[in-house]
Structure 1
Amino acid sequence: MNPATALSTVLIDELVRCGVTDVVLAPGSRSAPLALAAHADSRVRLHVRVDERSASYVALGLAKRSERPVALICTSGTAAANFHPAVIEASESGVPLLVLTADRPPELRGTGANQTIDQVKLYGSAVRWFAEVGVPEERPGQVAYWRSLVCRACQRAAGPPDPGPVHLNVAFREPLIPDGDASWCEPLDGDASGAWFRARVAPPSAALHIPPTRRGVLIVGDGAPTCGDTSPRRAWRAGPCCRSPTAAAGTATTRSRPTTSCWATRSGPTPTGPTSVVTLGRPGLSRPLLSWLRRAEEHIVVAPDLTRWPDPTRSATQVAQAVEIPIAAGGDAWLRAWRHADHVAREAIDAVLDSSGLTEPRLARDLAEVLPNGSLLFCGSSMPIRDLDQAMRPRRGLRLMANRGASGIDGLVSTAVGAALAHNGPAYALIGDLTLLHDQNGLILGPREPRPDLCLVVVNNDGGGIFSLLPQAALEDPFERVFGTPHGVDLGYLAAASGLPYALVEDPEELSRAIKGDGLRIVEARTDRVGNAAVHVAMRDAVRAAMRD
């Protein structure tokens, strides 16, 4: 089966699974795969109109009266532009339209190719959501991506709270018609083990009731709700599904409680992972946790906004604003096994760090431990947040923050300054040298501006430390120049140029004294990128050995 036919077959099937019954089509060449798939599916009521403007208003009327999303399909070029008036009307009147515009592949755009215009975000702010589907390819994982994308589009169009049009731009390469071959590299409709699950989105007022299971886990990530029935604190008391372990990811507030460490999730006390996973917030930092989501039979996402939910693995089976978490009588073996694994992993990690001198993960662990109660700790988005994730011990009285929306290093000094100005108490930031240099203008405060009580603890490994832990490190010849990017900047001079107090930490025992003070100030800890990579390998090997014992 060619990719265009595969994508179109899956797309129409998923529309039907999401409750779409009507498809309006304006004929064209590039949209042929979608047209043929819609025509072949007997569950769809197909409406064909020769004029795109008329077709779009037919779809508008169908959706307005039925109060259900209706799919609207056209070919590439100005055909898509003729949908614009109806899209605007649907936006202003809150009518759920699913606009599917066929498009040329990227290599034909901007070349003067026939019937090719810029269709990316063609309708601007008139749509509730836009997605460039991408040219389909025959490789595993495409089916889950396509179905997840369509499910999100249907949910966003239907609302609540704000129904309206959604635009999916679908690029096709030739061939555009079926080639007689029905084979594909993965099942188009899932396999016996459930290769994909469509996320069932619960009504806003309904709470999901999870049946008890003896292998459940709660994952609390960045941006998790902090109050109400879905708060990490309440969920931690109960545990999802039964007496189950809780895993914290990123800056999750549950780090004030005993949680399963990322190292325990890597090796684990059992050969099989959880059967049921509940996620609050964004769980995208830890790869072992992400693998749990992919393998779990049930992945329930709890999200305040049912029009957007975090699902980086596209494995969600249910989405809801609230979830009922029952307690099962007995059956504590699963929880006890994870608590023991976590204890073993943390002892192994501490032993490595205590004997390694001043290293980046030790600096993260010790800093989080010595900060006074009521402190804010802002984390850099590259290695600092990962070092905290791997080395921090659970503790109370510390508020963690990070810019994990886009996870970039842009403007982190300024973000930390702003957060410190809003925080009622001392504030600290653990960031890398490149992060500091990227936003060194954030250190400049006018003489009449409010001054934050913020200590910037800067890990200086003279470049991009995270790349030493990635496959790029094996590229010895170009590595330093294009990944390591050493800069040679003396941060002491940088602090002096900004008129800020400065201290250099050369031994772990100096940290608690160096961070004392008030106002905006810089504390530098110099580390070695190669040595840091070796410490991370030592931590991994120590945990594996401890688990085997």
Structure 2
Amino acid sequence: MDSIITSSIPLAQQIITTCKAKKIKHIVISPGSRNAPLTISFSNDPYFKSYSIVDERCAAFFALGIAQQLNKPVALVCTSGSALLNYYPAIAEAFYSDIPLLILSADRPKERIDIGDGQTIRQEGVFKNHILHEANLESHMEYSKNLSFANYNKLILAIDTSVVHKGPVHINIPFYEPLYNTVEVKTTPPELLKTNTSIVNTYHCDKKTEEIWNKARKKMVLVGVLPPNQIDDSVLDQLLNDPSVLLFTETTSNLHHKKAIPSIDQLIAELSETEFNQLQPDLLLTFGGLVVSKKIKAFLRKFSPLTHWHVDVKKAYDTYGCLTMHIKTTPQSFLTSLLKNKSIDKPSNYQNFWLDQYKQRLKGHYNYLKNVPYSDLLVFDKIIKQLPTESHLQLSNSSTIRYTQLFQLPKGVEVFCNRGTSGIDGTTSTAIGAAIINKKPPILITGDLSFFYDSNALWNNYIPEDFKIIVINNDGGGIFRILPGNKNANYFSTFLETTHELKADKLAAMFEFDYVLNTGENLEKVLDDFFKKKGKLILEIHTPRLVNDAVLLKYFSKIRE
């Protein structure tokens, strides 16, 4: 039987054994001294896939990308002190996006806290507002059986919480020196410990719910962030055979249907008060994560439905101020049960009327794009048209996700975006982590600020050889030119728009990416070559900073005409 080198510290051995027993395979490690017992043990055990990421903020988003695709916990390992604080943006994203993460932070023993010892902060409770559970392990120079049993229970509870309830948990681990001593142990197959992951029984729709659904003449179904393949096509067909049902999907919903409206803002922009009253639903059914469209949120808050149901196994946000029922099951299970006894008591033209309106808006959309000047909008049109039909697409926040929402993506494209906190930080790191697991060709579309902000994401040895990045560079935070505000004020360009003259060529060279800069000439040919070419590639598309906002603002009024 083979042997491996592991830490001589019993607490470290216990953590490694427990992670193995709970089938946690992916371990993202940042360098340090206090976490050496864990680093030594994880990296020497062939059961685990260990990654070394220096920047803890990037490491956390990298782990989040892996967990996003696996839907299983990924462990993060860091040293004590401020290293731990750099995990916080990704932890908050995981908390709001229901992504399981296991944070293993090494710490000084309790008696070393707040006495002036180096690399020491108050680590207990540091993430308390954005985690599902915290376990503070105990450690003494002499590691007793009683202490081992107590720590084991804490470990099991924390890991199971992350697995079952889908979110981040924090395990804080004090280590005494010496930290680098090792022992040789025989490798044994892990003694697997099962977790009861069934928190929702098979859903059965009650008669009252069925009755409310069947009587509603205007039913709006709004879908936010969903992983791919969450609802069967046959269920969507049955749902949309009802003429009183109008389905709004977002790019991040990964849902496609010929009777769905995938570009919400195209339809509801510039509607009159009378038209908003016509669109106002009797019943609103929502599922999935956070919704991107500000226009639909503003509409539903002003023209509230009498009934709002949200379907989710875990939580229901009252986003529109009218939530009446949280249905704790999956969308697939709920719709399957609900539609078994579907009946249409009275005729409704709700779906047909608004689908006709949407078709008219699409005509306006295509007409406007025929003559639109070179701008962000035109660039996104060309990118979406040439996206490979089978690909794994990651999107950055702010302008990127909002522009993409205006176009219908091919059904084979799987779409992901960090919408939990909607931050620009960590987009590239998340995309790289996700690309390790998702075997479809990976593509990241990002804005310039998001890309430069997360440039350390490229500082690792795990980037897939076919990883492609498109950077839309409009010399600053272009979204701020679209929002209300005085664009001519002295502070605007420096402190809001944050203009710059940076290019990605030097970063591409440093991290060994092939690089192409385009300013609009022959963009279709450039994109065709970019998507066909092998290797790690960065395509930077430069767009005019002072044109983009005018083009987009005019777009919504023109497609109405």
TM over 0.5: yes
Q: How does 1:393-408 map to 2 (within 5 A)?
A: 393-408=408-423
- The alpha-carbon deviation at position 227 of structure 1 amounts to 3.0
Tell me the TM-score normalized by structure 1: 0.58
Tell me the TM-score normalized by structure 2: 0.57
Inter-partner Cα distance in structure 1 for 2:503 and 2:393 = 24
Inter-partner Cα distance in structure 2 for 1:497 and 1:379 = 23
In the alignment, structure 1 residue 282 sits paired with structure 2 residue 289: yes
Inter-partner Cα distance in structure 2 for 1:221 and 1:211 = 24
Aligned to 2:458: 443
- The alpha-carbon deviation at position 258 of structure 1 amounts to 4.4
Give the direction of change, closer, same or farther, for the CA distance of 1:543–1:450 in structure 2 (3 Å limit). Answer: closer
Which one-letter code corresponds to 1:429 in the other structure? L
Inter-partner Cα distance in structure 1 for 2:447 and 2:126 = 39
- The alpha-carbon deviation at position 293 of structure 1 amounts to 2.9
Aligned to 2:122: none
Aligned to 2:405: 389
Q: Is 512-521 or 233-242 further displaced after alignment?
A: 233-242
Q: How does 1:354-433 map to 2 (within 5 A)?
A: 354-390=370-406, 392-433=407-448
Q: What is the CA deviation profile of residues 233-269 of structure 1, one whole-angstrom value per residue up to 9, with x for unaligned ones?
A: 7246413975422111241112464422321123459
Inter-partner Cα distance in structure 1 for 2:531 and 2:373 = 18
Inter-partner Cα distance in structure 2 for 1:483 and 1:123 = 29
**How big is the alpha-carbon RMSD for the aligned residues of Structure 1 and Structure 2?**
3.4
Which one-letter code corresponds to 2:295 in the other structure? P
Which one-letter code corresponds to 2:403 in the other structure? D
Aligned to 1:502: 515
In the alignment, structure 1 residue 544 sits paired with structure 2 residue 544: no
Aligned to 2:223: 220
Correspondent of 1:456 among 469, 493, 513 = 469
Q: What is the CA deviation profile of residues 156-185 of structure 1, one whole-angstrom value per residue up to 9, with x for unaligned ones?
A: xxxxx99xxxxxxxxxxxxxxxxxxxxxxx
Give the direction of change, closer, same or farther, for the CA distance of 1:421–1:519 in structure 2 (3 Å limit). Answer: farther
- The alpha-carbon deviation at position 529 of structure 1 amounts to 2.7
Q: How does 1:323-334 map to 2 (within 5 A)?
A: 323=335, 324-325=338-339, 326=342, 328=344, 331-334=347-350
Inter-partner Cα distance in structure 1 for 2:524 and 2:127 = 59
Inter-partner Cα distance in structure 1 for 2:384 and 2:236 = 24
Give the direction of change, closer, same or farther, for the CA distance of 1:365–1:339 in structure 2 (3 Å limit). Answer: same
Inter-partner Cα distance in structure 2 for 1:233 and 1:504 = 44
Give the direction of change, closer, same or farther, for the CA distance of 1:533–1:454 in structure 2 (3 Å limit). Answer: same
Aligned to 1:264: 267
Inter-partner Cα distance in structure 2 for 1:124 and 1:348 = 49
- The alpha-carbon deviation at position 412 of structure 1 amounts to 0.8
Q: Is 329-338 or 494-503 further displaced after alignment?
A: 329-338
Aligned to 2:114: none
Q: Is 522-531 or 491-500 further displaced after alignment?
A: 491-500
- The alpha-carbon deviation at position 203 of structure 1 amounts to 9.8
Q: What is the CA deviation profile of residues 412-441 of structure 1, one whole-angstrom value per residue up to 9, with x for unaligned ones?
A: 111111222222221111100111101111
Helix, strand or coil for the counterpart of 2:485? helix
Inter-partner Cα distance in structure 2 for 1:504 and 1:126 = 40
Inter-partner Cα distance in structure 2 for 1:234 and 1:419 = 28
Give the direction of change, closer, same or farther, for the CA distance of 1:122–1:523 in structure 2 (3 Å limit). Answer: closer
Helix, strand or coil for the counterpart of 2:557? helix
Correspondent of 1:298 among 291, 298, 306 = 306
- The alpha-carbon deviation at position 386 of structure 1 amounts to 0.4
- The alpha-carbon deviation at position 302 of structure 1 amounts to 3.3
Inter-partner Cα distance in structure 2 for 1:220 and 1:289 = 11
Contact 1:381 1:407 in 2 (8 A): yes
Inter-partner Cα distance in structure 2 for 1:122 and 1:393 = 42
Give the direction of change, closer, same or farther, for the CA distance of 1:387–1:454 in structure 2 (3 Å limit). Answer: same
Give the direction of change, closer, same or farther, for the CA distance of 1:212–1:240 in structure 2 (3 Å limit). Answer: farther
Inter-partner Cα distance in structure 2 for 1:314 and 1:236 = 30
Q: What is the CA deviation profile of residues 197-228 of structure 1, one whole-angstrom value per residue up to 9, with x for unaligned ones?
A: xxxxx998443422332211111111368436
Inter-partner Cα distance in structure 2 for 1:462 and 1:301 = 42
Inter-partner Cα distance in structure 1 for 2:218 and 2:433 = 42
Task: Calculate percent identity across the aligned residue pairs.
Answer: 22
- The alpha-carbon deviation at position 504 of structure 1 amounts to 2.2
Tell me the matched-pair count.
Answer: 352
Inter-partner Cα distance in structure 2 for 1:285 and 1:496 = 34
Aligned to 2:240: 239
Give the direction of change, closer, same or farther, for the CA distance of 1:494–1:258 in structure 2 (3 Å limit). Answer: farther
In the alignment, structure 1 residue 488 sits paired with structure 2 residue 501: yes
Inter-partner Cα distance in structure 1 for 2:268 and 2:218 = 14
Inter-partner Cα distance in structure 2 for 1:124 and 1:476 = 40
